[in-house]
Amino acid sequence: MGRMTAPTPRRVLLAAPRGYCAGVDRAVIAVEKALEQYGSPVYVRHEIVHNKYVVQTLEKKGAIFVEETAEVPEGSIVMFSAHGVAPTVHEEAAERKLATIDATCPLVTKVHKEAVRFAQDDFDILLIGHEGHEEVIGTSGEAPDHITLVDGPEDVRNVEVRDPSRVVWLSQTTLSVDETMETVGALKEKFPLLISPPSDDICYATQNRQIAVKQMGADADLVIVVGSKNSSNSVRLVEVALGAGAGDSHLVDSADEIEEAWLDGVSTVGVTSGASVPEVLVDGVLAWLSERGFEDVEIVKAAEESIVFSLPKELRRDLRAEAAALSAE
Ligand code: SF4
């Protein structure tokens, strides 16, 4: 049993940036706009972003989430999630005469393009990422014969390539920066001529959220990360918080998952949220903490973010066409 009363003063360190990234914001707005434009149902292949609350809210508005395009009735509208899809999924959709809207984050598309280019140049591509994650499945599908998945530093010993002088590493966008660098270090020891990607594959949003959590980690007795269990970047934030010295860290979908016992003996609580988490859920956590005496909130700012992505092109085209029709009336 720990102490039953928390020492004073009690304070909250609130990470900035946190929550929605540009890719998630765009994907969620795309589903909402598609529902307005075409009416319900709009089918969405896989969770549009990895957040339970977002998915449930969009379901209520008329989105239908499916696992595979085969579940979508012929001739319907289907949206692809922010995590991206393999080219075979586009082909299946075309066969079923589905109207597609591709909400793949442009920063994931960038990695797809790198994979295509290096495969065309006949490189072996070592894709650092988590086995089974949708993004990794999509990226691997761009060049299945050239890509080998490397799931963390321990996996490096299993990696084999055809020609060690033509090898490049790429990565999933939502990994831990530090762990990825560890994996790259191990790969470079094994393949000294390994080439790095032309620019960072781990996206700006993932990096910034990790930097903010690192800044607060050592000062926090507890770090609460708001995010869903299947959200890669949110899970990484818990690991980064603990690695940075936080006394404890937990991932919660919302305030009702927080356990009172976590506050036992705690005076400083860090709060952050993954890139797919709406701010309303963070507000709920702050309100929960405030009710327990954690009213003093200090912002820990790691970066300014101003990136905004335009809506998927198929949607922009139809929205423009409608605007033109209305103005012609
Ligand atoms: S986490 Fe990064 S790659 Fe993923 S949707 Fe957001 S901006 Fe895009």
CA-nearest of 132, 134, 139, 129 to 172 is 129
SS3 assignment, position 177 = helix
What lies within 8 Å, CB to CB, of 79 at 6+ separation is 30, 31, 34, 42, 43, 44, 45, 48, 100, 101, 102, 103, 312
Count the Cβ atoms, other than its own, within 10 Å of residue 78: 24
Share of the chain above pLDDT 70, in %: 98
Residue 227 Cβ inside 6 Å of ligand 1? The answer reads: no
User: From the alpha carbon of 174, which atom of ligand 1 is closest?
Assistant: 1
Residue with tokens 């702050």: 286
171 lines ligand 1 (CB under 6 A): no
pLDDT in tens, 176-224: 999 999 999 999 999 999 999 999 999 999 999 999 999 999 999 999 9
Given this model, what pLDDT does residue 98 score? 97
CA of 261 to the centre of ligand 1 (A): 33
Q: 108-128: per-residue pLDDT in tens? A: 999 999 999 999 999 999 999
Does the pLDDT of residue 5 top 70, yes or no?
Answer: no
Per-residue pLDDT, 1: 45
Distance 206 CA to ligand 1 centre (A): 7
Q: Are 253 and 53 in contact (CB under 8 A)?
A: yes
* Closest C-alpha to 173, from 207, 148, 146: 207
Per-position DSSP letters for 263-310, written without gaps between them? GTT--EEEEEE-TT--HHHHHHHHHHHHHTT--EEEEEE--------P
Q: Are 252 and 225 in contact (CB under 8 A)?
A: yes
Q: List, for residues 270-317, the tens digit of each pLDDT value.
A: 999 999 999 999 999 999 999 999 999 999 999 999 999 999 999 999
Average pLDDT over residues 50-73: 97
Judged against a pLDDT cut of 80, whether residue 95 lies above it is answered with yes
Other residues' Cβ atoms within 10 Å of the Cβ of residue 38: 16
For residues 315 and 43, what is the distance between their CA atoms, to the nearest angstrom?
14
- Which of residues 88 and 2 earns the better pLDDT score? 88
pLDDT of residue 238: 98
Residues 72-91 have pLDDT tens digits of: 999 999 999 999 999 999 99
CA separation for the pair 107, 301 (Å, rounded): 23
Please report which confidence band the pLDDT of residue 328 belongs to, taking 50, 70 and 90 as the band edges.
confident
How far is it, in rounded angstroms, from Cα 47 to Cα 227?
A: 14
CA angle 239, 243, 247 (to 5 degrees): 95
Average pLDDT over residues 1-19: 78
pLDDT at 281: 98
In this prediction, what percent of the chain has a pLDDT beyond 90?
A: 94
pLDDT at 250 over 90: yes
- Residue 21 near ligand 1, beta carbon < 6 Å: yes
Instruction: Please give the pLDDT value at position 2.
Output: 47
